[in-house]
Amino acid sequence: MADQDQKLSELETENRKMKLELEEYRAEAAHLKNQQATIRRLEERNRQLEQQMEEKVREMVEMKQRSMAEDSQKTLEALKDRERSLQDQLRQATESVKNMQKLHESAQSQLFELRTQSEEDRAAKEAEVSLLMDEVERAQARLVSLEREKGDLRSQLQTTNEDASKSSDYLESSDILESSLNAKEKIISELNAELRNIESTLSSEREMHVNELKKLTASLTEKESALMELKKELQERPTQKTVDDLKKKVQILQAVGYNSIEAEDWELATNGEEMSKLEALLLDKNRKMEHELTQLKVKISEKTSLLEEAEKRIAELTSKVEEQQKLILKLEDDILKGYSSTDRRASLLNDWDLQEIGSSEASEGTDPRHASPDQDQNSMLKVICNQRDRFRARLRETEEELRKLKEKYAMLTVELEKTKADNVQLYGKIRYVQDYSHDKIVSRGPKKYAEDIESGSSDVEAKYKKMYEDDINPFAAFSKKEKDQRYKELGLRDKITLSSGRFLLGNKYARTFIFFYSIGLHLLVFTLLYRMSALSYLHTTPGHDEIILDAGNQTLSHML
């Protein structure tokens, strides 16, 4: 009886499991139906994509042809515009050159005339100056002679004055001499005034001559600079040869772009070097077209290969869906038969494998409807055992992968630490080489900054610089050593207190728990104090026993 009850309970648990698995299978069947609809949508989408691909290929070919024709037309028009602009520029340049040549000739003639006129004026001025100098010299000589005569006359006057007492005949001669002396003094003053006027006029004419000479030299330099600018502009302008070459290129491009040349243009283009240029251009264009054609063929072949792969994938999916539909129909039939007969309840999942679905169905030759209940129960147990074994194998594989990942993570962390240490050492060596190459004292403090690019201006070098300086910082090492020493000197209770404090303050959930725990503890303490104060107050009042009993009952009811 106990065995039957145990078997009945096992059958009930298995029945519940089977019901759950049946629900899962129904959900999977609905999912497979959805997959069939998805496959139909994918087929329709595939046909649409094929049509779109063909249309895109045709459009791309047409667009490429149109774009090539438009590009050739645009290049031809641009070359024509360039030719017209160059012809206009050449005509303007020739006209400007002619004008500049005329201006240059007129400027040279004016300059020659100005030079001759200035030379004539200079000669006249020099002659006038020489005449004036001669006159000045003569006036000075005459002045000297008059001064000499004046001295003589004064000496004679003095002698006559001395001899006046002797004879009175000399009075008349002295008067005459005085009058002649006054006249000569007047002449001398006039000559001095005239000499000053002549010197002033001479200096003013010299200044005028110098100013005119400066103006003429300035105008000459301006004309020469304008002439040099015109020559430079003329050299920068295109020559007749470049214009002819552009004309020939335009004609060749016309022939290449429209694949037809007029008779005269053909005669011009088929002469010697022009014919070779035309052939080279045609070959270049042909190569470009062949290259573009091969690219389009490659793209079409890629698209066709993708289309074939998609078709194969669709065929595989359709076959898989058909197999799954057959299995779903068989499973539904078995489920209906299992519900109709309580004796065949164990035959719901006969010959069913979750991982090898469809493979065992093809080799199934017997009908589960004709099998015995023991065979059905054994087959269901076999399926469950196989499923358990598969789950165990999958779990082992997952655990193995997790173990490998942990080992790989540990190896990577070790390698990362080694790499960081190696990089820090390399940075120290680089610092040593830089200090040695620059003949400086090795500075290990954080205040050493090099001026060149190799001194750690990038972010990576700045990171390793900080790590290097933290590693060699004696204060940090000393503070760490002191902390370790103090921690070792602490007692057991202090160590436990410090560790628990670090844990509670470093963990978010621990801090939250402490916060709410302290609030609850305070509330509890305040409540107890309030209750005790109320009870102590009631002890002092009459009838306090009944009130205490009521308060105790209320407290118990609240606590319950």
Shared domain check, 540 and 479:
no
- 466 and 542, same domain (yes or no): no
Question: Within a domain: residue 90?
Answer: yes
| 157 occurs within a structural domain | yes
**Degrees, nearest 5: CA angle 299-302-304:** 110
What CA–CA distance (Å, rounded) separates 111 from 223? 10
Residue that terminates a domain, selected from 461, 489, 517: 489
Which of 439, 446, 438 minimizes the C-alpha distance to 471?
A: 446
Residue 454: which pLDDT band, with cuts at 50, 70 and 90?
Answer: very low
**Residues 391, 469: one domain?**
yes
Backbone angles phi and psi of 418, in degrees to 5: -65, -40
Of 187, 196, 191, 186, residue with least CA distance to 139: 191
Let me know whether 457 and 534 are in one domain. no
DSSP 37: H
**Do 250 and 76 touch, CB atoms closer than 8 A?**
yes
Query: So what's the pLDDT on residue 516?
Result: 93
With 60 as the cut, is the pLDDT of residue 486 above it?
yes
- Taking residues 504-509, report their average pLDDT: 81
Compute the distance between CA of residue 346 and CA of residue 378 in angstroms, rounded to an integer: 9
344 pLDDT band, cuts 50/70/90, is: very low
240 occurs within a structural domain: yes
Q: Cβ atoms within 10 A of the Cβ of 152, count?
A: 12
SS3 419: helix
Would you tell me how many other CB atoms lie within 10 Å of the CB of residue 127?
Answer: 10
Domain membership flag for residue 368: yes
Q: What is the three-state SS of 187-234?
A: HHHHHHHHHHHHHHHHHHHHHHHHHHHHHHHHHHHHHHHHHHHHHHHH
Q: Could you list the residue range(s) of the whole structural domain that residue 446 is in? A: 344-489
Cα dihedral value 436, 438, 440, 443, nearest 10: -70
Q: Of 222, 248, 274, which one is at a domain's C-terminal end?
A: 248
pLDDT tens track for 391-424: 888 888 888 888 888 888 888 888 888 777 777 7
Cα separation, 560 vs 550, in Å, equals 15
Q: What is the pLDDT of residues 254-301, one digit of tens each?
A: 665 554 444 444 444 445 555 566 666 667 767 777 777 777 778 777
3-state helix, strand, coil in the chain (%, to 5): 90, 0, 10
The last residue of one of the domains, among 437, 472, 489, is 489
Count of CA atoms in the C-beta half-sphere (13 A) of 262: 4
Report whether pLDDT(499) > 80: yes
Give 18-37 pLDDT, tens digit per residue. Answer: 777 777 767 776 766 666 67
Distances (CA, A) of 84 to 90, 261, 262, 267: 10, 20, 20, 23
CB 250 within 8 A of CB 79: yes
Higher pLDDT, 335 or 495: 495
Question: Both tokens of residue 330?
Answer: 């068989």
Shared domain for 468 and 509, answered yes or no, is no
Q: Which helix (H) or strand (E) holds 371?
A: none
Please choose, from the candidates 316, 330, 315, the residue with its C-alpha nearest in 3D space to the C-alpha of residue 29: 330
Question: Tell me, what's the pLDDT at 88?
Answer: 81
Q: Is residue 270 part of a domain?
A: no
pLDDT band at 383 (very low <50, low <70, confident <90, very high): low
- What would the two tokens of residue 100 be? 């500049």
Does residue 317 lie within any of the structural domains? Answer: no
Residue 360 confidence (pLDDT) above 50: no
| Cα–Cα distance measured from residue 281 to residue 278, given in angstroms and rounded to the nearest whole number | 5
According to DSSP, residue 354 is labeled: S
Number of domains into which the chain is organized: 3
Question: Token pair of 36, please?
Answer: 């069939």
Q: Are residues 230 and 155 in the same domain?
A: yes
- Write the pLDDT tens digit of every residue in 528-551: 998 888 888 776 765 555 555 565
pLDDT over 90 (residue 218): no
Residue at 63 is within a domain: yes
Residue 315 lies in a domain: no
154-160: which pairs have CB atoms within 8 A and are 24 or more residues apart?
Answer: 154/181, 157/181
Cα separation, 209 vs 201, in Å, equals 12
Least confident range from 57-61, 80-84, 204-208: namely 57-61
The rounded distance, in Å, linking the Cα atoms of 472 and 475 is 9
Residue-wise pLDDT for 87-106, tens only, equals 787 788 778 778 777 877 77
Q: Is 510's pLDDT higher than 70?
A: yes
CA distance 155 to 177: 11
The CA distance from 444 to 428, in Å, is 9
Whole-number average pLDDT of the chain: 71
Q: Are residues 350 and 236 part of one domain? A: no
Please answer whether residues 351 and 360 qualify as being in contact, where contact means their C-beta atoms are separated by less than 8 angstroms: yes
Q: Provide the 8-state DSSP code for 167.
A: -
Q: 227 and 361 in one domain? A: no
| pLDDT higher at 42 or 448 | 42
CA distance 309 to 294: 22
For residues 11-36, one letter each, b for 16 or more C-beta atoms within 10 angstroms of the residue's C-beta and e for the rest, the string is eeebeeebeebbeebeebbeebeebe
Q: Say whether both 178 and 38 belong to one domain.
A: yes
Cβ pair 514, 504 in contact under 8 A:
yes
User: Confidence class of residue 436 from pLDDT cuts 50, 70 and 90?
Assistant: low
Asked if 425 and 497 sit in the same domain, the reply is no
Judge contact between 190 and 207, C-beta under 8 A: no
Give 445's DSSP letter.
Answer: S
Q: What pLDDT score does 519 carry?
A: 94
Task: Tell whether 438 and 534 lie within a shared domain.
Answer: no
Question: Are 267 and 284 in contact, with CB atoms under 8 Å apart?
Answer: no
Name the least confident of 156-160, 321-325, 477-481: 156-160
Q: How far apart are CA 381 and CA 349, in angstroms?
A: 10
Is residue 404 located within the same domain as residue 521? no
Strands (DSSP E) found in 56-214: none
